[in-house]
Amino acid sequence: MPTRWRNPNCSPRGRRWCCSLQRGWGRLVSLTTSVCVYRRSSSVARLGLFPLNIVLLPGEQVPLHIFEPRYKLLFARVLQAQEEVGINLLLQERLYEIGCRAQVVEVLRHYPDGRMDVLVLGTQRYRVLELDRSAQPYLLGTVEWLEDRPEPVEEHLRTECQELYQQLVLRLRGESAQSEQLFEQLQQQELLSFWIAQQVGLELLQRQYLLELLSENERLQWLVEHLKAILPRLEAAEEFFRRVRGNGHFAP
């Protein structure tokens, strides 16, 4: 098992895939439904879905280029009605049932043919209960909103995660103005886990796994293990390059 999944319970490959629907878009699946009871809000809504090969996290801003006719229509309606769109990971014909609602915060460019560049912000997570592709050219989902379990954040986890992230930044960027800016942002985050997850180059399924966890403490614990695993590997890589620069010999 790869080092990044040191704890088998943190590995999506250690989970049983939950396949709840089969549509033309592939299977609607989740990484965690076999072991996790979702905390739901009381409301159910209909949401236009934009399946993508990305995982949008709450609080994350992502630029998107909208060019397919059905999604040009979707975003035109979203902008006109000041609504939001749902982004779900689409990977190897699997549509993941846990997604993140996206608010269009800025239209960066509008092309004459209806294409557009937009900047979206991840807001609230949801679970798709039902898919409908008959009413519109794009997918409509009946969704329920998801919330974290009500629990106090363990300060020792938050502090350890911050310290490990700072070590990573210093190793990669050194003491610089950019590092200081990141450290300032680090202290301002309410949901620290989602912010750090945006910064550390996670793979798609790792991001999806964190998106599905309904506990800030569990997300922080996963990130602590992940950072503890990659920091020694980064140090070993730096030592390798030092040896190469020294013609294969350790520097005196």
206/14 Cα distance (integer angstroms):
13
Which CATH fold would you assign to the domain 3-146?
2.30.130
Higher pLDDT, 153 or 180: 153
pTM exceeding the 0.85 threshold for the entire prediction: no
- Which tokens sit at 219? 């997300």
Condensed to tens digits (0 to 9), the pLDDT of residues 196-225 reads: 999 999 999 999 999 999 999 999 999 999
Spatial contact of 118 and 63, defined as CB atoms under 8 Å apart: yes
Residue 176 has pLDDT above 50, yes or no: yes
Mean pLDDT of 19-37: 47
Q: Which of 21, 93, 90, 77 is nearest to 50 (CA)?
A: 90
Higher pLDDT, 18 or 51: 51
Sorting pLDDT into bands at 50, 70 and 90, what band is 17?
very low
Spatial contact of 186 and 169, defined as CB atoms under 8 Å apart: no
Alpha helices in the chain (DSSP H): 69-81, 155-173, 177-187, 192-199, 204-212, 216-245
Q: What pLDDT does residue 60 have?
A: 96
Residues of the chain with CATH 2.30.130.40: 3-146
Q: What pLDDT does residue 88 have?
A: 98
* Mean pLDDT across the chain: 81
- Which tokens sit at 26? 């592939």
Residue 8, phi then psi, degrees to nearest 5: -55, -30
- Which tokens sit at 123? 């807001």
